[in-house]
A and B are shown apart, each in its own frame.
Chain A
Amino acid sequence: MSKAGLAQFQQVFIEESLEGLDTMESSLLALDNGGDGELVHTIFRAAHSIKGGAATFGFPEISSFTHEAESLLDEVRSGKRAIDGGIIELLLRTVDCLRGMFARAQGGEPLNDAVAAGLRGELAAAMGRGAAAGGAQERREVDQADAWTVRFRPHPGMLAGGNDPLRLIRELGALGEIAVTPIFDRLPATLAALEPTECHLGWTIALKGPARRADIAAVFDWVEDECDLAIEAQHVVAPAAAAAPAPAAVADAGAARAQREASAESSSVRVSIDKIDGLINLVGELVITQSMLDTFREGEIDAARMAVLEQGLAQLARHTRELQESVMGIRMLPIASVFNRFPRMVRDISQKLGKQVKLEMIGEHTELDKTVLEKIGDPMVHLVRNAIDHGLETPDKRRAAGKPDVGTLTLQAAHRGGSIVVEVSDDGAGLNREAIVAKAVQRGLIASGEGLSDDAVAELIFQPGFSTAAVTTDLSGRGVGMDVVRRNVADLGGSVTIRSTPGQGSVFTITLPLTLAIIDGLTAAVGEERYIVPLVSIVESVQLKAEAVRSVAGGGELFRFRGEYLPVIRLHDVFGCSGAVQAIDQGLMVVVEGDGTRVGLFVDGLIGQQQAVVKSLEANYRRVQGISGATILADGSVALIVDIVGLVRLQGRRKAA
């Protein structure tokens, strides 16, 4: 296979493996909470596919590393070993380590590191320990030798499965010199009794040459369930140095997670057959409509035919809309893929902090756009960390407050209108009004807390650099918290709000658009140009009298809107449009909100509302400040989409300059 071809499959394999690791992790956690034995099989299967795939797609390090974990799992699966907290912990760290290896595989870096080597030793040690405890006194398997005997006995069905011993033994021959002895004991005595598509033969293969056990095992990876296989070392070259059981440099799980997050954005999406069938159906309908409309090319169009034509056009419009929705649906994935990382995180953090937390997840099947999905992870991680670190109390504090020892953290996702609403709520202490006010006064954000509503106080925590944690921990409280969350969510065209009741807990609500690919916007005219202003940002539009706008020192302009002064951004100024309306009373002021700030956009006028399919300006031209993308209008001309948040920041910088 060509290198490029293999690389393409490698990417798919890596993505599938990361999903497999997610499955392993969630199953391990479920097992830790007393799940049933079927979970062990699920975990084993996931590990098995990763191992097999890794060998095939050219990641022998991952394959042999996973093999260690798989061996341990196999003992658990076959009942030779009881699973306990220690093994679960070890396997969870193995999952983290594998994620790191896959991330490095994507980056083309060396796959093995100190963590992998340490874990390998621990896995091997866990196996050895169990054997001794079981009294079996199994000989420790030798990893490296310069002569091996491989006993290979295919099950009858192996040939029909497309696996040919001929190929396997040939592959084995690539590892060294082989001498093959066939075993005929199961071959029927007469030809007539032979079932020719079943395998009745077995082989004993003597392999000479320095080879590792893992290399030999890798040859038989795909057929492991279809044969009996024994690999015995005949001549040992050196004691296996790598099996030192010392857990060398076990890195912080956070590091592994950071790597994982870095690799979380993937370039492909897997789509269910149902969705594709739906698309094919719709395209079929569209073709029928088109051929129906085609009949109108010829002949006079009288009143009767006109009615049919109108009906056809209506059908066309309906099918086009449905097709658009279906195509958008392809990018929609359940939020479960984001939620699934939290059980592990909650477990780790709560253990670290000595808190008891029950995690509840509601609406994991809510679907949202893949791009939004990939970017919502970080803000949610922040909120969840905050909720456990700052929100939920320690068990004794909870008891003192008359609450159950175990705090509840709830993640909830739901569709609401045209948006997705994700809530992170806890039943902890709620926001500490006094502490927030004191901090805000100290930071000079407010003069005093008097007269501020609870909501206004809560808003303060979204200010840059705001953190009330007396001691910054490695979990949260670095003072780069909530403002970053808000900015990340705003970048996705969403918003974050907070509702908190002292003593009863807090609810953080993230509202997100369903997709980033289509926005609802108002078309604004500025000179010859047309701009799309996203509807979600628009507060209101007003026609002002010329005297309503005042110039201020430094060149800016302000106008009074509902009791506050808002800066004016003249779009024709920012984007350099010619022939635009200059006089305030001739144009229109569109009040928009972005990044928590309101500004007035001065435009010539508004033309109408429309859905805009967002085309990337960056991909087709280059990044332009204040513009988030472009779209094509009904007349075929291009309109630019105004990036409100970007404009507001641009305005802030101009003011500062």
Chain B
Amino acid sequence: MGKAAQRKGGDGARVIVLPADFRLGAVAGVKADLVEALEAAGAQLDGGAVERVDTAALQLLLAYRREAAARDLSPAWRGVSEVMRDAAGVLGLARDLELPANMPA
């Protein structure tokens, strides 16, 4: 599971679907997508299907979010799974990732 799936959302925006097993082995692939997305003026992140996540994955999202914020791109979450939300909470990253307060996973 190297690369995150990409698709166009209903509104035509770019959507990056984060893999179910979003851990160390998957981060390089997702990073490539995120770098691309930054160049294309951002994308929506869909973490609704993420079942496993680790520090490396959240760190990657954090780096993406920080650069996106520096480029004045607003956060756009399409979905956040409970697993992701919980992990971000443990690592104290929920606020910096600008996870939406309540969103159906």
Q: Which residues of A contact B (CB under 8 A)?
A: 159-160, 164-166, 169-170, 173, 179-182, 184, 187-192, 194, 196-197, 199-201, 203
Q: Which of A159, A164, A180, A196 contacts B31 (CB 8 A)?
A: A196
Q: Which of A160, A165, A189 contacts B24 (CB 8 A)?
A: A160
The docked-state distance in angstroms from the alpha carbon of A166 to that of B59 is 11
**Contact residues, B17-32 vs A (CB, 8 A):** 24, 27-28, 30-31
Q: Does any Cβ of A come within 8 Å of B85's Cβ? A: no
Q: Does any Cβ of A come within 8 Å of B91's Cβ? A: yes
Q: Does any Cβ of A come within 8 Å of B92's Cβ? A: yes
Task: Assess the B90–A159 pair: CB atoms within 8 A.
Answer: no
Task: Assess the A166–B28 pair: CB atoms within 8 A.
Answer: no
Task: Write the chain A residue with the least CB distance to B29.
Answer: A196
> Knowing A159-B24, A164-B54, A197-B28 touch, does A170 contact B59 (C-beta < 8 A)?
no
> Knowing A159-B24, A192-B35 touch, does A166 contact B63 (C-beta < 8 A)?
no
* Contacts A/B (CB < 8 Å), 12 sampled: A159-B24, A169-B90, A184-B66, A189-B67, A190-B63, A192-B35, A196-B63, A199-B55, A199-B59, A200-B59, A200-B63, A203-B91
Chain B positions within 8 Å of A181 at CB level: 92
Apart from the given pairs A194-B63, A196-B30, 16 other A-B contacts in the complex at a CB distance below 8 Å: A166-B87, A166-B91, A170-B90, A180-B92, A182-B91, A184-B96, A187-B66, A189-B70, A190-B67, A191-B63, A194-B60, A196-B59, A196-B60, A197-B24, A199-B59, A201-B59
Task: Assess the A191–B35 pair: CB atoms within 8 A.
Answer: yes
Chain A positions within 8 Å of B49 at CB level: none
> Knowing A191-B35, A197-B28 touch, does A182 contact B96 (C-beta < 8 A)?
yes
List 7 tightest A-B contacts by C-beta distance, closest first.
Answer: A180-B92, A196-B27, A194-B63, A182-B92, A165-B55, A191-B67, A196-B31
> Knowing A187-B63, A191-B64 touch, does A159 contact B55 (C-beta < 8 A)?
yes
The docked-state distance in angstroms from the alpha carbon of A170 to that of B54 is 12
Q: Which of B27, B28, B63 contacts A188 (CB 8 A)?
A: B63
> Knowing A169-B90, A169-B91, A192-B35 touch, does A159 contact B67 (C-beta < 8 A)?
no
Nearest Cβ in chain B — how far from A158, in angstroms? 9
Q: Does any Cβ of A come within 8 Å of B56's Cβ? A: yes
Chain A positions within 8 Å of B56 at CB level: 159, 164, 196-197, 199
Chain B positions within 8 Å of A173 at CB level: 90
Task: Write the chain A residue with the least CB distance to B62.
Answer: A187
Q: Does any Cβ of A come within 8 Å of B34's Cβ? A: yes
Task: Write the chain B residue with the least CB distance to A178.
Answer: B90
> Knowing A191-B35, A197-B56 touch, does A182 contact B67 (C-beta < 8 A)?
no
Nearest Cβ in chain A — how far from B76, in angstroms? 16
Q: Does any Cβ of A come within 8 Å of B105's Cβ? A: no
> Knowing A182-B91, A196-B60, A203-B92 touch, does A191 contact B38 (C-beta < 8 A)?
yes
Chain B positions within 8 Å of A165 at CB level: 55, 91
**Contact residues, B43-102 vs A (CB, 8 A):** 53-56, 58-60, 62-64, 66-67, 70, 87, 90-93, 96
Chain A positions within 8 Å of B60 at CB level: 194, 196
The docked-state distance in angstroms from the alpha carbon of A188 to that of B64 is 10
The docked-state distance in angstroms from the alpha carbon of A305 to that of B66 is 82
Task: Write the chain B residue with the least CB distance to A165.
Answer: B55
Nearest Cβ in chain A — how far from B51, in angstroms? 14
Nearest Cβ in chain A — how far from B100, in angstroms? 19
The docked-state distance in angstroms from the alpha carbon of A201 to that of B66 is 13
Chain B positions within 8 Å of A194 at CB level: 31, 59-60, 63
Q: Which of B55, B64, B66, B70 contacts A164 (CB 8 A)?
A: B55
Chain B positions within 8 Å of A182 at CB level: 91-93, 96
Task: Write the chain A residue with the least CB distance to B31.
Answer: A196
The docked-state distance in angstroms from the alpha carbon of A139 to that of B46 is 50
Nearest Cβ in chain A — how far from B3, in angstroms? 13
Chain A positions within 8 Å of B70 at CB level: 189
